[in-house]
Amino acid sequence: MDSNLVVVHTHFHNRRTGVTRSIENVLPQLKKLCTTYLYGYGIEGEKITTSKLKELLFSKEDIVVHCHRNNEILKMLWYKVLGAKFKLVATRHAETEPSGFTKLLLKKSDEVITLTSSMHKSLRIPNVKVPHGVDTNLFIPNPEKKLSNIAQKNIILCTGRVRKAKGQKILLEAVVPKLKENKDWALVVVGKVDKPPFLEELKEIAEKNKVKSQVYFIDETSDIVSYYQAATISVVPSFTEGFSLVCAEAMACGNTVVATNNVGVHSELITDLESGYLFTSGNIVELQEIITNLISKKLPHLGDNARNEIEENWSAQKEAEGLVEVYKEINKKS
């Protein structure tokens, strides 16, 4: 452990998101490498008080504060105005073009971290790429796992927020017609619903195709690992992603993952036909063909290869090591 390096991760957000889970994944690994604290709310873990934060920020130690959202950066910049001496790191989690205000805040940071190669190249602000990692001790395969609330033997899983940009409608239109021919298969959609009318649209597709008993909508759950472990196939049909932690988590659990090409980190995580399958976002026919061939076993299931890819290149330990290198480098700068 580097006893001279002290890091504070911030989280100011009431709702649990992929950002929340990414911080929770990496913190235990960071704590093995340096003194690490968590400050804020809306996240699991032991958090320091505001008085402890101030004590750290205004001390003579080399402190690094790592922020993930604009409101967090703003608060830390205010402490700098008050005379605190620390290094500020900001992660850009979104793939979209940042607003002028966000760019200003990022430029005020001592270092900006991006998560994917495309984000790294397109941000047009100097940055270092450090991808998210998965807790490979928590997200592990378990072929014997069964879910008491799912009647069918085989599960096609889709996790993440239920919203149009995540592509669940495309998934249902591709998969639901095939469920009629495969009664021992179920489609399970797990995630918090942004807009109830969209969920009703999805339910109507299942009802129209008379496969309502094979399609399940599960609210956001803290036991997401069990769903990955029970699934055979995971589909990530999103049109846009910041990183796409769900893709990496599914692969870590040994799922055969089908994901949209060139969205988030999908094309970096997945080598098509080797560690998973890629399809063009919005292309129902293409997705349906892959799923049909996986169900009939005309295409091989690639869960073992997917797990190996995560263990070798996308673990939370690897992310923590990359972050520590960034923290050390900015501490060297005057």
pLDDT of amino acid 60: 84
CA distances from 273 to 123, 158, 212, 238 (A): 30, 20, 31, 19
pLDDT in tens, 96-135: 899 999 999 999 999 999 999 999 999 999 999 999 999 9
Token pair for residue 213? Answer: 């008993």
Nearest of 302, 150, 299 to residue 215 by alpha carbon: 150
In degrees and rounded to multiples of 5, residue 51 shows phi and psi of -65, -35
pTM: 0.91
Q: Which domains does the chain have, with CATH numbers?
A: 2-133+315-332 (3.40.50.2000), 154-313 (3.40.50.2000)
Pairing status of strand 111-114 against strand 277-279: unpaired
Q: Is 140 helix (H, G, I), strand (E, B) or coil?
A: coil
Cα Rg, the chain, nearest whole Å: 21
Q: Which DSSP helix (H) or strand (E) runs through 317? A: helix 316-332
Convert the pLDDT of each residue in 247-291 to its tens digit: 999 999 999 999 999 999 999 999 999 999 999 999 999 999 999
pLDDT tens string 207-249: 999 999 999 999 999 899 999 999 999 999 999 998 999 999 9
Class of residue 235 by CB neighbours under 10 A (exposed 0-12, middle 13-18, buried 19+): buried
| pLDDT above 90: residue 168 | yes
Angstrom distance (rounded) from CA 101 to CA 107: 10
- Do the Cβ atoms of 31 and 39 come closer than 8 Å? no
Q: What is the side-by-side order of every strand in the sheet holding 185-190?
A: 215-218, 185-190, 154-159, 233-236, 256-260, 277-279
pLDDT of residue 19: 94
